[in-house]
Structure 1
Amino acid sequence: MSSPDWSKLEFKVDDVVVLSPCLSLSLHLERVHEPSILDFYERSMEALGSLLAYSSLGSSSWRKVSARTLATVPSWKGRMSKIGSGLQIYFSSMEKGVGPASLSLFVSATPYSSDNPAEATKGQKELKTTYDKHGDVNVFTSADLYVSFPVEHPLAREPAQMLSWVRQLQLVREGRFSSGSCGLALNCDIISGGVQFAMEPRLAVLCQQYPGLEFHLSSGVMRLLRYNGRTGRILHKVRRASWLTLLSGNCVEQLGGLDKLRAKLGEGPALLHTLENKAVLLQAGPEPRLGDLSQRDFLPAYRQVARAIRPIRLEQLERTPTGAFADWVQDWLETFDREPA
């Protein structure tokens, strides 16, 4: 991967890092699949190793990683598929502030996507009742997984290796996700009190200049699953075009099928990789890129992907990583929709 001046993307408040550049992967799941989630955890820990020195179970306190900490996720086996399990854990390379190496897993199975037929039927009936009253219903994913690599990490420096690593994840290989993305990102400190007032304006400026930048958002901010009562189905959405954009078979079907998706993608630098379960991975060029609107670097390969996925992209994004309302996040969401002036 080419090497921009990464120091321009790091930001500190009172000598504490609150914005840190990285290469990140986000995966969102409609259905919990324990072996695949454990595979994601194990392969992420193997790749990042001792970089993940601190952990948290969702509070603002971070502790040094221990053997007991490392056994937490494997101990979830048999519990992940329980409705409303609410299992979560976070790892970071920094105790204070935000590090470029991180790993987070949140699992909370939902009735409507349960493998238990009785629970699934009950959940679907509840969704139908809500739909009859209010129309299409936004629903939560059952799991959200996130891992980020420092920009100097071997996988981040060798895009072909990163692509291979992502494709070998069981969740990706078997197409068990609802959507996902992999690209250059800024890890944000959303825990330390008060820093968001200094952090978010800087985050907004950087994301408005560098269109390839992303940031991690919780499932509570995004609505990537939507129940449609006319069809009785949950439809998958994607957030935005990235270097790697992962589409479930559900997404591909909404776009008219594989052949139509290929036609929509058209000729250009973007590539389409097929996965199992009719899922696909769209690759916007050979390496992840920042772009730079001030230099008229508009990332044409990302725009190529954005055009192809536009019918299933989120329509609205109102909140920042800290949960605050701001206009700039909608502008960021729509960056690749607008033709360069």
Structure 2
Amino acid sequence: MGMTTMRYPRLRYQNKRGWLVASDALLMCFYIRHPHQQIAQAVMRALELFRERIHPYRLTWYAGDGQAEPLDDSAWEAIRQEMLGPNDGAFVQMEDGSRWTGKLYVDYRGLPIVPLPFEGREDDVSVLYLRLPTEYLEERGAERVHALALELAQELPFHSGYTDFVLCEAGWTGEAIDLVRPRYPGVELAPSSANLRMNTWVDGVHWMNFLGQPVLGQLGGVDGLRERLTLPGVSIQEMSGERVLITLGDRPETGDVEAGQTLPLHRALARLLEPHLYHRTTELSRLSPEEWLRWERRFLD
């Protein structure tokens, strides 16, 4: 991977009230179909690694008892105690104090049991959602981001996950989708906090795609992937615990149609993953179910 600095588009959307409700960002997201108690230590290691590696970016606030509290060393220790304590579940939110959707933000939801025994929540999983400003990707370069995401993933018993340049939208209404449709099909419209409803589905096709069981087994394991994904530019890296990382190209691509980008690697992986891809529910959406489906199938049709 060369060290050429790639500039990414600044995608910002203000709603009618003038609030910034969508922004570009770098997102690392891991879906873990295990209860909090089984994964607490792994997630805590990942959080500590993340905090250390993102310097000079700093997490400065966390959600204390219903309000934001400064995240100093004693607060960090308190979070640690809560994460590793006897609680069944855990809920941790940390950020950098800036007031916009593309800011540095950590959202961990550790469920007490999986699957949850409540109607409509059967698909919920534990999630670690880590967001960095786009500048981090531009300043560090894709190679460093790749190394960090892989290092975090190695700690986590994920079922699936991804790292990519995205457009984060608060409220997940689809209001900001025209910032990426049709010009930047490579840019996922992502929620601005953890989406729990993933079960063992795969959340779209991305630059870095983390796959675990059962999907990896259903695709014929690492050997099956290597046979079916033969395009140059696709890297398939075996990980411990029957997991794999599929990386498409050297860096996140926006798929800028005005620059003639066609994203052949994304299309190839989408065809392979099609039966396993997550379909978003559209109850909160400004878009019709047909419009969402057309967007979700943009690498397939």
- Deviation, 1:155, is 7.5
For each residue in 1:240-283, what CA deviation from the matched residue of structure 2 results, as whole angstroms up to 9, or x when unmatched? 11000000032210112222221221233211110001110000
- The answer on 1:55 being equivalent to 2:62 is yes
Which residue of 1 is the match for residue 180 of structure 2?
Answer: 207
- Deviation, 1:95, is 4.4
Which residue of 1 is the match for residue 282 of structure 2?
Answer: 319
- The answer on 1:173 being equivalent to 2:154 is yes
- Deviation, 1:309, is 1.9
Specify whether residues 69 and 326 from structure 1 end up closer, same or farther in structure 2 by C-alpha distance, changes over 3 A only. farther
More divergent stretch after superposition (282-291 vs 205-214) = 205-214
- Deviation, 1:295, is 4.4
Q: Structure 2: how far apart are the matches of 1:58 and 1:206? A: 36
Specify whether residues 160 and 329 from structure 1 end up closer, same or farther in structure 2 by C-alpha distance, changes over 3 A only. same
Which residue of 2 is the match for residue 229 of structure 1?
Answer: none
Which residue of 2 is the match for residue 89 of structure 1?
Answer: 92
The letter of the residue matching 2:51 is M
Say which of 178, 192, 195 aligns to 1:219: 195
**8 Å contact kept, 1:247–1:280:** yes
Q: Secondary structure at the match of 1:51?
A: coil
- Deviation, 1:3, is 3.3
Say which of 209, 213, 222 aligns to 1:245: 209
Q: Secondary structure at the match of 2:42?
A: helix
- Deviation, 1:5, is 5.4
**8 Å contact kept, 1:28–1:144:** yes
Q: Structure 1: how far apart are the matches of 2:104 and 2:248? A: 23
**8 Å contact kept, 2:129–2:194:** no
Greater Rg by CA: 1
- Deviation, 1:156, is 6.1
Give the TM-score normalised by the residue count of structure 2: 0.82
For each residue in 1:105-156, what CA deviation from the matched residue of structure 2 results, as whole angstroms up to 9, or x when unmatched? 11113155xxxxxxxxxx8xx89xx9xxxxxx95221x10111222222686
Q: Structure 1: how far apart are the matches of 2:98 and 2:133? A: 16
Q: Structure 2: how far apart are the matches of 1:176 and 1:212? A: 27
Q: Secondary structure at the match of 2:164?
A: strand
Q: Structure 1: how far apart are the matches of 2:147 and 2:62? A: 27
- The answer on 1:22 being equivalent to 2:25 is yes
For each residue in 1:289-308, what CA deviation from the matched residue of structure 2 results, as whole angstroms up to 9, or x when unmatched? 11123444221222222222
Which residue of 2 is the match for residue 45 of structure 1?
Answer: 51
For each residue in 1:190-217, what CA deviation from the matched residue of structure 2 results, as whole angstroms up to 9, or x when unmatched? 4xxxxx88xx42x210232312212136
Deviant stretches of 4+, over 6 Å? none
Q: Structure 1: how far apart are the matches of 2:235 and 2:68? A: 40
Q: Secondary structure at the match of 2:285?
A: coil
Which residue of 2 is the match for residue 161 of structure 1?
Answer: 144
Q: Structure 2: how far apart are the matches of 1:179 and 1:58? A: 31
**8 Å contact kept, 2:51–2:58:** no
Q: Structure 1: how far apart are the matches of 2:28 and 2:250? A: 16
Specify whether residues 47 and 19 from structure 1 end up closer, same or farther in structure 2 by C-alpha distance, changes over 3 A only. farther
Specify whether residues 2 and 329 from structure 1 end up closer, same or farther in structure 2 by C-alpha distance, changes over 3 A only. farther
More divergent stretch after superposition (72-81 vs 272-281) = 72-81
User: Map of 1:1-341 to 2, 5 A cutoff?
Assistant: 2-4=5-7, 6-7=9-10, 9-12=11-14, 16-31=19-34, 32-49=38-55, 51-56=58-63, 61-79=67-85, 82=88, 85=89, 87-110=90-113, 138-141=122-125, 143-153=126-136, 157-169=140-152, 172-173=153-154, 176-190=157-171, 200-201=174-175, 203-208=176-181, 209-214=183-188, 215-216=190-191, 218-220=194-196, 222=197, 224-225=198-199, 236-314=200-278, 316-319=279-282, 323-324=284-285, 326-327=287-288, 328-338=291-301
**8 Å contact kept, 1:24–1:147:** yes
The number of residue pairs the alignment matches comes to 287
The letter of the residue matching 1:204 is I
For each residue in 1:29-77, what CA deviation from the matched residue of structure 2 results, as whole angstroms up to 9, or x when unmatched? 0124122100111112113355323332596x54443444323431224
Q: Secondary structure at the match of 2:99?
A: coil
Where do 5+ consecutive residues of structure 1 fail to align? Answer: 113-122, 131-136, 191-195, 226-235
Which residue of 2 is the match for residue 230 of structure 1?
Answer: none
**8 Å contact kept, 2:31–2:128:** yes
For each residue in 1:65-101, what CA deviation from the matched residue of structure 2 results, as whole angstroms up to 9, or x when unmatched? 344432343122444772xx2x212222344332432
Specify whether residues 38 and 5 from structure 1 end up closer, same or farther in structure 2 by C-alpha distance, changes over 3 A only. closer
Percentage identity across paired residues of the two chains: 17
- Deviation, 1:318, is 2.6
Specify whether residues 104 and 271 from structure 1 end up closer, same or farther in structure 2 by C-alpha distance, changes over 3 A only. same
Where do 5+ consecutive residues of structure 2 fail to align? Answer: none
**8 Å contact kept, 1:92–1:101:** yes
